[in-house]
A and B are shown apart, each in its own frame.
Chain A
Amino acid sequence: MSETTHDGGVAVSAPPSPDEGLSAADLAAKYGLSVSGARPGLASYVRQLWGRRHFILAFSQAKLTAQYSQAKLGQLWQVATPLLNAAVYFLIFGLILKADRGMEREVYIPFLVTGVFVFTFTQSSVMAGVRAISGNLGLVRALHFPRASLPISFSLQQLQQLLFSMIVLFVVAVGFGSYPRLSWLLIVPVLVLQFLFNTGLAMIMARMGAKTPDLAQLMPFVMRTWMYASGVMFSIPLMLEEHPKWIADILQYNPAAIYMDLMRFALIDGYGPASKVLPPHVWAVAGGWAVLVAVGGFVYFWKAEERYGRG
């Protein structure tokens, strides 16, 4: 036995070996040891993430199930929660504030419900993203996995939640006279694009929230402002008729409004011709937002990979 000083030597009664006298770095290099906790390159990071796809999916489903497991009605709340939400907005904006601005009831109610559900998808992805790292520090500090698994998993949980909401939405649409037709197929690409956009946004928020957990307090206000500016309960062109047109243009091109309008256009009979309710180049803009935010968010998140969970 020997007292260890800071010579970095092997203090066990070790047999003399050919490695005697090598510095730590040389010894590590000789046996192919790598620095613990270094950030992988972007390509290998994507590969690692793909290797964890089963975990990402299982984690999102587990979160979804755990959410209502204590409630008596159990998984029924998956459908009941969005339904109640839509009812409240209808009560306030449809009946009390009359935000429909002359839209027929057959159009306005599905219009409102679609808006609420689609925006909630983005909203809850952002909120879950903020806490994806800061709320799961135990997990981050205990296990090794590409950290992007967490925000992706949370967006995926929100997507599954939205799929439950879509059941309600279909019932509402049919109930108000919009029957299934070919354009309903457009819902799929809209959901894919919005999911990409949300995931990117969740990753951006996850990195910011990991550094500044206070964002969790601030974000609800930001999201509510965004909601009112995106025409969830009213049609932007109708509401801003007497204002300069560029204001309505800016609001209409914001990603939340784009995805909402595309979904309404796909779903609701009598919502109007594309030229009137959709801004020009709408699909290009929807795809552009999705790719820009998803790729940008991913790279931005990856840049801080080795720093998550520090302190």
Chain B
Amino acid sequence: MAEQTDRTMIPTVIADELHIVYRVNGAKTGKGSATAALSRIIKRGEERGVRKVHAVRGVSFTSYRGEAIGLIGSNGSGKSTLLRAIAGLLPAEKGHVYTDGQPSLLGVNAALMNDLTGERNVILGGLAMGMSREQIRARYQDIVDFSGINEKGDFITLPMRTYSSGMAARLRFSIAAAKDHDVLMIDEALATGDRKFQKRSEARIRELRKEAGTVFLVSHNNKSIRDTCDRVLWLERGELRLDGPTDEVLKEYEKFTGK
């Protein structure tokens, strides 16, 4: 914390009384029958048959440049939803999220295609994240080396569907981490890959922080939170329960979960 005090704290993400509500179509009556669907259409009015899920309830926090923030909480506590809202991918029901630049979710997987070679996926994934062709060309070798895909033969020229799940996950992380993000959000990505790769990704996350960004990390692995984060937000039922230095929050959290 000492180094943070002597430079000005520049906020990167400000969440102000943020509420997120999901709307789920046709889940209210529990009847999926055709007549039920028809009567829903005919009745119209105030969104009948739409069930609301209040996933995040009034969360406020400010994150600063150079911070790595862990998000913890039991399953369904709203961690991933909060990340998507920060990324601007889910609109807020109430409250605001202000961000510096464009926060990105480490979620390049959706742009990749299993039928294409690893090589083409690196290019496609890079373009999808908004890198230019030149940037991708310059980083291509780093991405491949970082993923370690080619350690066991020339796998990068094979279609991704031939990869083992660990290999595919490693390539995905490598592509996503290749870009310098202002604000990077990682959702349970470090659980993949072998121990060696996990170490390498944690090192990469520290590096990204040094490049003056902010990193958010969702994880159920308290150890990887402890290794990478200096601040932790604890969400429970969509509410922010604790916000503070890693050790103190994790101690409370472990008490809560009975570990």
Contact = CB atoms under 8 A, between A and B. Distances in A.
A142 B113 CA distance: 15
B128 A62 contact: no
Given A54-B132, A69-B115, A139-B110, 20 more contacts: A2-B243, A6-B17, A10-B61, A12-B244, A17-B8, A24-B16, A25-B98, A28-B98, A33-B12, A37-B88, A54-B133, A58-B123, A62-B120, A63-B113, A69-B116, A139-B111, A141-B107, A142-B105, A142-B107, A143-B105
Interface of B: 1, 4-5, 8-17, 22-25, 58, 60-62, 84-91, 96-100, 102-105, 107-111, 113-116, 120, 123-124, 127-130, 132-133, 159, 231, 240-245, 248-249
A70 interface: yes
A36 interface: yes
A95 interface: no
A13 interface: yes
* Nearest 4 interchain pairs by C-beta: A37-B88, A142-B107, A28-B98, A24-B16
7 contacts: A6-B60, A33-B100, A36-B88, A59-B128, A62-B124, A66-B116, A143-B104
Interface string A130-167: 00000010111111110000000000000000000000
Contact of A309 (B16, B89, B133, B248): B89
A8 B14 CA distance: 9
Main secondary structure of the interface of A (DSSP, over half): loop
B113 A66 contact: yes
Contacts of B5: 15
A39 to B, nearest CB: 10
A121 B9 CA distance: 55
A28 B95 CA distance: 13
Contacts, number: 173
Contact of B103 (A10, A36, A52): A36
A6 B159 CA distance: 50
Contacts of B17: 6, 8, 24
A11 interface: yes
Contacts of A62: 113, 116, 120, 124
Nearest to B12: A33
A268 B82 CA distance: 60
Q: Interface size bucket, A side? A: 35 or more
A13 B98 contact: no
Main secondary structure of the interface of B (DSSP, over half): mixed
A55 B125 CA distance: 9
A310 B16 CA distance: 20
A31 interface: yes
B16 to A, nearest CB: 4
Given A4-B242, A58-B124, A144 B4 contact: no
Contacts of A14: 9
B89 A58 contact: no
Nearest to A311: B23
A141 B129 contact: no
Contact of B104 (A13, A58, A141, A144): A144
A73 interface: no
Interface string A36-69: 1110000000000001101100110011011001
B115 A66 contact: yes
A25 to B, nearest CB: 7
Given A13-B245, A142-B105, A309-B89, A8 B60 contact: yes
Given A8-B60, A62-B116, A144 B8 contact: no
B102 A144 contact: yes
Contact of A36 (B4, B85, B127): B85
A33 B89 contact: no
A111 to B, nearest CB: 36
A34 interface: yes
A142 B89 CA distance: 7
A1 B240 CA distance: 14
B59 to A, nearest CB: 9
Nearest to A6: B58
Contacts of B128: 55, 59, 139, 143, 145
A31 B245 contact: no
